[in-house]
Amino acid sequence: MTFDEMKGAGGEVRLPYQAFSNWFDSEDPKGLQAKSREADQLFRRMGITFNVYGDPDATERLIPFDIIPRIISAREWSRLSRGIEQRVRALNAFLHDIYHRQEIIRSGRLPAEMIARNAAYLSQMIGVTPPGDVWTHIVGIDLVRTGPDEFYVLEDNARTPSGVSYMLENRETMLHMFPELFQLNRVQRVSRYPQNLHESLAACAPPACTDSPVVAVLTPGIHNSAYYEHSFLADQMGVELVEGHDLRVVDGRIAMRTTRGYQAIDVLYRRVDDDFLDPLNFRPDSVLGVPGIFDVYRAGGITIANAPGTGVADDKAIYSYMPEIVEFYTGEKPVLENVPTWRCSEPDALAHVLDNLDELVVKEVHGSGGYGMLIGPAASKKELKAFRKKLEARPSNYIAQPTLSLSTCPIFAKKGLSPRHVDLRPFVLVSPNGIDITPGGLTRVALKKGSLVVNSSQGGGTKDTWVLEEE
């Protein structure tokens, strides 16, 4: 049975939603419809869009926004925060270890081939320690819920997690349209995130920094699917948004072109993938990166956030070992559980997956955005047959998981409230000063009735996420 976060198992409004529910019942539905349309107009006017690669109809889309908030109690958030912090600490320790002594492999907890054959593992990072020993400066941990106290980590985003701008804009939109709701409900703030991000990045300045750290955001350019976010975050932090052609090596530092000449950068929040970061060290055909930046980085002349090579922690086969990874580096049992996972590279697991393909969710180990995956219960016989061939041809490219009964939250539909499946991506900042978790995160919602796919690229939408203060 699907757990509804507003109504609960017995159909009665759960405590976190009671003040909101009372307010909603007193509102005029036509007025709320008008507010919903107003939200769309606000998003369009502010340019809150994303690009869809390979879409012949349009290069930009408006992300659908639902005006019904997702509400999490202080008690629920306290447990989630403990589990997220534990997991992020383990991820950072794991990344340091696999590029240094590889103790987890020596211990037999993780097979050597998980690293040796991993396309996201950068041999160029072996022996490198980022400034402050921080590898994942910005992390997004995707969570799903199946019951009142049942939360699972769906995947880790340790490379370049996106979506935080939508979290912030969702809150601004709700504050603009429904200020009375924030008087009725004691909702924890998220507005400090840009300031916290800037402070966290500045705290990770490299040894070459001798003054106030200069921070910049590196974007691939306007055609990138998340360009809006790159521009938004640079603007909110009050730092420069730069492209590769704006940067060059000057006196052993990375410097950006300004109207007063070239200025050295201390911390570069990059939204460019590893392969394209430096044509001299990685893909020689890249025009997105900066020639020589990796050599400057290794010499301690700049901090790159997140560190090159962190993508190995996003690998879904590595994900399947996260319970062991958490225990190995923290000495504790995981607070948040993984979704049970079959590694299709293992013959017995592959046989099980092939026998039960119509019941499972199958994902590419390096996939993202909802692409390249199969949702067995929703697939046609033709789709199952085609995917079976892919699995048999490249089993190591896939993992499989049971189809969870994801929790639902109501959306504002034409006939009132209607439940839809959701997930949650909280955002985490890591610096030598500690770990900061923004209360809430980005709730993604499958707008299509019965759908489990929440990705915006696949037709999903977003909603504001409220974490209530303790009573």
Name the DSSP class of 441: -
**CATH of residue 396:** 3.30.1490.270
Cα–Cα dist 165/171, whole Å: 10
**pLDDT, tens digit, 9 for 90 and up, residues 370-391:** 567 898 888 899 999 999 999 9
The residue type at 168: L
**pLDDT, tens digit, 9 for 90 and up, residues 416-448:** 899 999 999 999 999 999 999 999 999 999 988
Cα–Cα dist 232/194, whole Å: 10
pLDDT of residue 433: 95
46-74: average pLDDT: 73
pLDDT at 459 over 80: no
Answer positive or negative: Cα dihedral of 110, 114, 116, 120.
Answer: negative
Residue 382's domain comprises 342-402
Residues 179 and 92 in one domain: yes
268: which strand partners?
216, 304
Share of the chain above pLDDT 70, in %: 95
Residue 321 to residues 178, 328, 373, Cα–Cα distance (Å): 44, 11, 20
Return the structure tokens found at 321.
């070992």
**Mean pLDDT of all residues belonging to the chain:** 92
Q: What is the dihedral of CA 6, 71, 78, 321, to 10 degrees?
A: 80
**Residue 158 and residue 368 in contact, taking contact as beta carbons nearer than 8 Å:** no
* Domain presence at residue 197: no
pLDDT of residue 367: 66
Rg from Cα positions in the chain: 22
Give the contacts of 355 (CB within 8 A, at least 6 positions apart): none
Return the structure tokens found at 100.
């240094």
Residues 333 and 352 in one domain: no
Among 301, 328, 363, the domain-final residue is: 301
**pLDDT, tens digit, 9 for 90 and up, residues 274-310:** 999 999 999 999 999 999 999 999 999 999 999 999 9
Residues 41 and 178 in one domain: yes
Share of the chain above pLDDT 90, in %: 81
pLDDT at 45 over 70: yes
253-264: average pLDDT: 95
pLDDT at 59 over 60: no
Phi, psi torsion values for 407, nearest 5 degrees: -65, 160
* Domain presence at residue 461: yes
**pLDDT, tens digit, 9 for 90 and up, residues 21-39:** 999 999 999 999 999 999 8
Residues 227 and 286 in one domain: yes
Residues 390 and 350 in one domain: yes
| pLDDT confidence tier of residue 51, bands split at 50, 70 and 90 | low
pLDDT of residue 313: 95
Residues 438 and 366 in one domain: no
Report the domain count for the chain: 3
The residue type at 279: P
Helices and strands of the chain, counted as H and E runs: 14, 23
pLDDT of residue 57: 52
Among 402, 420, 440, the domain-final residue is: 402
pLDDT of residue 371: 65
pLDDT of residue 47: 67
Residue 25 to residues 31, 32, 264, 413, 417, Cα–Cα distance (Å): 12, 11, 56, 15, 11
Cα–Cα dist 114/281, whole Å: 23
pTM of the predicted protein model: 0.93
Residues 324 and 420 in one domain: yes
| pLDDT confidence tier of residue 53, bands split at 50, 70 and 90 | very low
250-266: average pLDDT: 95
pLDDT at 95 over 50: yes
Residues 240 and 218 in one domain: yes
How many residues comprise the chain? 471
